[in-house]
Structure 1
Amino acid sequence: MAKRAGLDPTTFNRSKRITPDGRPRWPSTESIAKILAATGETVDAFMSLLSGVSMARRTVPLIGLAQAGEGGIFDDAGFPVGTGWDAVEFPAVGDENAYALEITGDSMIPAYRDGCVVIVSPNAPVRRGDRVVVKLKEGEVMAKELKRLSAKTIELKSLNPEHADLSFNRDAVAWVARILWASQ
């Protein structure tokens, strides 16, 4: 199956599923998409195999990254408010406040390209290494990788080496929300 999907032949070896320090290794969204294309399966069918339950779909609001920086789109906790947005259908997630955000710019290439849609959960806990959406109190909204989060600062990584990593005082940050999924 790995060869048929254009992946490394050792992709499904048990020895490749755990990192040397004992943490589980998860496939990338791109690898899963290739496997689904090679098998002709849908994301819903794949997810139901993992959970044993058929995945219900729900509609989530789709907000443009530039639009997200405008006032009135989010409340103080990072939950979308209002109506009138486009919407996308997505397998149900546990966060009733989840929303879709369309990426603009190239600071997260190769993971997220201009026009890529990410599903964001304002209620999901964030950890070092998570890809996140951050809104500054001044209004700027950005998608980055969380390098470090302390009581005083937040450090963010741009995956594209042409963009510098960023650091902000926590009091300059309105909210941080975890990216759960991305289209490719």
Structure 2
Amino acid sequence: MLETSPHLWEKSNMTNSDFPRGRELYDVLMALKPVGLPETRWAVEAGLNKAFFTNMKGGAGSIRSDNLEKLLSHIGKSVGDLAGSPDRPPANAELVAFEGRSAERVRGDCPVYGTALGAERVIDGEAIEQTMLNSGDVIEYRKRPAITNGVERVYGLYVQGSSMYPAHRDGAFLFAQHDVPLRVGDDVVVYLRPLDDSDDGSTARCVLVKRLVKRTAQYVELEQYTPAKVFRIPMADVLRIDRVLTADDYA
């Protein structure tokens, strides 16, 4: 097929499109040409037509790669030397920093505390789902959002139960942070004092993962979704309230 259609061979044997063409390629080759070697003699000794360079100067297309290799080989050069020619204009490309990409490396040192579904807590005559959380039991470490690198107050936990479905399904993973400002509408982790004699004033046995509706000096008002209910917890029963982090906190 190559014998009956030589133009197919020529098209497949063209130089790379990134290489200069026509007059630009001529200027690059002249910069590589040894002093004292006439261009006509160069072409003829390389096995090409003596008008090769004249035609190149007047054209704008590529030349066959085998012809280019013949020229370069004759003077001890290769195709790779074309990019290093002093007459080629320097590249003006710049690295682009894509918006939103963090320059910080993700660290896998965020502690995840052990949780389990706890006994229901009766509030206003209704049973409210509680989660047993042991902050002294780190069950694993997770990759943390880069913005929280070095923040020891951030931790992870798994949702237990279905009271916050569909916002948080049973078993969903959450990041939370201690000692940050709270806003109405935040999902929060409320640490509760024990109801028995084990209360030492600083240790929580159970937490509530709920939505913050209102907070005053006397009480905190919370909401759960399944079953739907808004209820209040006296602040005297609350040790602390942590905020569940969202995608907005990671930006």
User: If the TM-score is normalised by the length of the shorter chain, which range does it land in?
Assistant: 0.5 to 0.7
Deviations, residues 105-157 of structure 1 (Å, cap 9, x unaligned): 01111110111000000022111111100111113211100000001000000
Q: Match of 2:243, as an amino acid?
A: R
Overall identity of the aligned pairs, in %: 29
5 Å-filtered alignment, 1:67-106, equals 69=132, 73-74=134-135, 82=136, 84-92=138-146, 93=148, 95-106=151-162
**2:193 is matched with which residue: 137, 140, 152?**
137
TM-score using structure 1 length: 0.59
Within 2, Cα distance between the matches of 1:83 and 1:108?
24
- Larger RCO: Structure 1 or Structure 2 (Cα < 8 Å, ≥ 6 residues apart)? 1
* Residue in structure 2 matched with residue 13 of structure 1 by the alignment: none
* Residue in structure 1 matched with residue 246 of structure 2 by the alignment: 181
RMSD: 2.3
Q: Match of 1:63, as an amino acid?
A: Y
Structure 1 residue ranges, 4+ long, deviating more than 4 angstroms after superposition: none
Please state whether the residue corresponding to 2:236 is helix, strand or coil: helix
TM-score using structure 2 length: 0.45
* Residue in structure 1 matched with residue 225 of structure 2 by the alignment: 159
Report which of the two has the higher share of helix.
2
1:66 shift after superposition: 2.2
> Number of matched residues?
124
Contact 2:114 2:139 in 1 (8 A): no
Q: Using a 3 Å threshold, how does the CA distance of structure 1 residues 84 and 129 change in structure 2: closer, same or farther? A: closer
1:163 shift after superposition: 4.3
* Residue in structure 1 matched with residue 178 of structure 2 by the alignment: 122
Confirm whether residue 54 of structure 1 aligns to residue 120 of structure 2. no
Deviations, residues 43-85 of structure 1 (Å, cap 9, x unaligned): xxxxx833x6424322211123328735xx44xxxxxxx4642
Within 2, Cα distance between the matches of 1:153 and 1:83?
29
1:165 shift after superposition: 2.3
Which structure has the greater CA radius of gyration?
Answer: 2
Contact 1:55 1:91 in 2 (8 A): no
Within 2, Cα distance between the matches of 1:166 and 1:174?
17
Residue segments in structure 1 that go unaligned for 5+ positions in a row: 1-47, 75-81
Q: Match of 1:172, as an amino acid?
A: D
Q: Match of 2:106, as an amino acid?
A: R
Contact 2:110 2:143 in 1 (8 A): yes
